Structure 1
């Protein structure tokens, strides 16, 4: 079932509720700059096991409305709450990749894990995507500024360059083009606004407010959300399990999709 949930007077979030009669529902929050379709290879595996899969497009991305405001993590987490309440979801696994993982963490802290019984983080951009005085493990600030400047100058080229370092294993040219097109579906302003949020947002305090079992999947070759971020998540979240993905980069959902899907299915069952 496909529909839009109104989360603000001028903002509707696109929802693809796949197999609504299934069990063990999982809600997916995609990473930057894609949309829910990036989880195609998870949907195919989980649906075969009878799982209810719910994909959403964050505001500004995919088929959701694209306002010029609201790209801070608080607002994005509030959008997730709007979807969970509109669908009446309870006892779900909340999952997120990259920026989507950061939004999932903020949701757990800001909304006290409302409706969520388990949390799954995939290469999450937390507790900080960039290096800070007390956290020297992320990207350099100049790396993010370069992405922002490139998006202003030539967004298609920026997206293509980003895709080139996303996967550890070689992907086909058609696959690269498909993923590139997911990024093009986003608005330019939302693409840039999220990158600015990477600079301002920190989730150090949020980690300690998570009270549900948490699975952390992270590629050790990740060039975007570096592997030490996963170690910090594992240390900061009680009852968390970290599974290093030895043959994966940032696109671990495809690099090691069979291992990824097996770990995820075993966790949510």
Structure 2
């Protein structure tokens, strides 16, 4: 089902999973902006693919998903945020929005590793012993990590790093035939994956709803973020784009 609001195109989903707490999740790290509400009634989710308009679209998206779920923001028990890595600008916008909602509602905030959530969302769909979530970094570079798929969940084997695509190829060749790269846009890595002999999974299924099970688990374990100290997982320092010569 497609919904339209001015220049924005939304994908709307009503999922059947349910949770005892009402959780508002935000995922805007890269390539799309997604908001979901999960609770006893299930999960309602909306996604905007005009990712460059994150600042303009995120609050209308929150309002729209709350309306779709037929609840008020004051009904939210927990806020979940995809913490990165990703776009510097979008990470800051997502964090500012989540903190503003947390201060305004007094709901606690839980941050979820984007890499872990991306890998977990693929684990439920891909039969592979190892998963390599990948997110675009600077031009020609990717953030990536390595997770092992276990019977009881995921195990982080190698922490998130970032490197040019050719170095990523060397990393993948060590796991030829035993891993799958999970990435929203396959095209920049398709040739590398083919040369390294590994699979590639188009992660268009990764949205804000993917954060909710991990956020619920962290909340139950008491892993709440401090609003005074929490920051996005930037992974590297911001470098402004070089201005062209006049």
More helix by share: 1
The TM-score normalised by the length of structure 1 is: 0.37
Higher relative contact order (CA 8 A, sep 6+): 1
Structure with max Cα Rg: 2
Larger % of strand: which?
A: 2
